[in-house]
Amino acid sequence: MVTYHKLMYLYKDAFNKKGIDLQVAKAFLFELCNEKGIDLYLELDNDADLEIVGRYENGIRRILNDEPMYYVLGYCYFFGYKLTVNKDVLIPRFETEELVGHILADVDTYFKDRDVKVVDIGTGSGAIAIALKKEESRLDIIATDISEEALAVARNNAKDNDAEIAFMGGDMLRPLIENGIKVDILISNPPYIPNKEEMEASVVDYEPHVALFGGDDGLDYYRMIFKDAHKVLNERHLLAFEIGYDQKEALMKEAEKYFPDHQIEVKKDINGKDRMMFIRHF
Ligand code: GLN
C-alpha cells in the first residue's frame, strides 16, 4: 500500500534528474484524484486508490519520456473551461488566456451593445473561440482550421462546453473569402515559431508542427493574414494576435505596411514578454 503523499514524492529524483518541476507530478495526481471525487489534500495520508496508482505510474513514465502532462491526461483547462486535447492540437497556453481577456475588454470598449461577428483563424482545440463565446454570448463566432483532426477536437470541445460556434475547414482566410463572409474581429494565434528554433523535447516531439512553425522568421502566417485581411473585414474592425516574445519589432514593420491608418498596439503577457498585437480601425 502506498499513501497519496508518498506517491506525490515517489518520482522526485527522476523528475529532478530530468529537469521537470515536481509540480507537474503533483498536478497530475491532483487531476487523477479529482476525476474520482477524491480531495487529494484532505486524503494525503490515506492509502491511494489502486486504479489511481496504476494510472499515475503509467502516466509518470510517459511524462518522464517528455510527453506533455495534458496529453497524458487527455484534457486541460482554458479560461476555466475543460477542453479535450490530443496530439492533433496544441495545448492552449496561459498566455493565450490573456489574449482572450484583452479581446473581451476591446469588445466592451469598441462594440458596445451590438452583435459582433468574430473569426478565430487556426482554432486548434477551439480554446479561444469557446472561451470568448462562453464569456460574451452576443459574439457570433466562426472558427477555422486547416486540420480536419483539429476541427474534430474543437467541435467536440464546443459541444461539451455548450458553446455555439460555426466551424469551417480550410486554409487561413480562404473559408471566409470563398463564402463572402465579413467579420468585425479577426483573431489568430498562428504558428509563429521560426522553423529552425530549438525547442524543448516535450513541445517539438509531441505537439503538432502545423500549429507551431511559421517559416524562417516565424511570421509567414501573419503576412498571409495581413495581405488578405481587407477582403474579410467590416469597416470598423479589430485584429488580435498572439505573437512570439521577440517578434514585436519585425511584426510592427509588417503591420505598418498593410495597415498604415490603423492603431497598432503590442501588449506584454504576465511574464513581461511582448505577446499580443492589436490592430484597430474605429
Ligand atoms: N506559445 C507556443 C509555444 O511557445 C507557440 C504557439 C504558436 O506558435 N502559436 O510553444
What integer pLDDT is reported at residue 263 of this predicted model?
Answer: 98
Mutational test site, ligand 1, from 200, 207, 212, 276, max ligand atoms within 8 Å of CB: 212
Atom of ligand 1 nearest to the CA of 93: 1
- Res 113: pLDDT: 84
Tell me what pLDDT residue 67 has: 98
* Residue owning the nearest CA to atom 1 of ligand 1: 93
Residue 145, classified by CB atoms within 10 Å of its CB into exposed (0-12), middle (13-18) or buried (19+), is buried
| Distance between Cα 201 and ligand 1 center (Å) | 14
Index of the ligand 1 atom closest to the CA of residue 214: 8
Helices 148-160 and 127-135: angle between axes, nearest 10 degrees: 30
Ligand 1 site-directed mutation target among 70, 85, 89, 93, most atoms within 8 Å of CB: 93
Query: What's phi and psi for 219, nearest 5 deg?
Result: -105, 5
Question: What was the pLDDT predicted at 22?
Answer: 97
Please give all residues whose beta carbon lies within 6 A of any atom in ligand 1, as ranges.
90, 93, 189-193, 203, 212, 242
The Å distance, Cα 10 to ligand 1 centre, comes to 31
Q: Cα separation of 159 and 215, whole Å?
A: 33
Nearest CA among 38, 169, 157, 161 for reference residue 90: 157
Name the helix (H) or strand (E) containing 116. Answer: strand 116-121
Residue 217 contacts residue 158 (beta carbons within 8 Å): no
Looking at the CA of residue 193, tell me the nearest atom of ligand 1.
Answer: 8
Closest ligand 1 atom to the C-alpha of 218?
Answer: 8
Counting every residue, how long is the chain?
282
Write down the pLDDT at residue 133. Answer: 98
- Grouping H, G, I as helix, E, B as strand and the rest as coil, residue 28 is helix
Q: Are 149 and 88 in contact (CB under 8 A)?
A: yes
Give the cell for residue 130: 469557446
Q: What is the pLDDT of residue 135?
A: 98
Task: Please give the Cα distance from 125 to 141 (Å, whole number).
Answer: 15
Answer whether 190's CB lies under 8 Å from 241's CB.
Answer: yes
pLDDT tens digit at each of 282 positions of the chain: 899 999 999 999 999 999 999 999 999 999 999 999 999 999 999 999 999 999 999 999 999 999 999 999 999 999 999 999 999 999 999 999 999 999 999 999 999 989 999 999 999 999 999 999 999 999 999 999 999 999 999 999 999 999 999 999 999 999 999 999 999 999 999 999 999 999 999 999 999 999 999 999 999 999 999 999 999 999 999 999 999 999 999 999 999 999 999 999 999 999 999 999 999 999
Phi/psi at 87 (5° precision): -60, -10
116-121 vs 139-145, strand pairing mode:
parallel
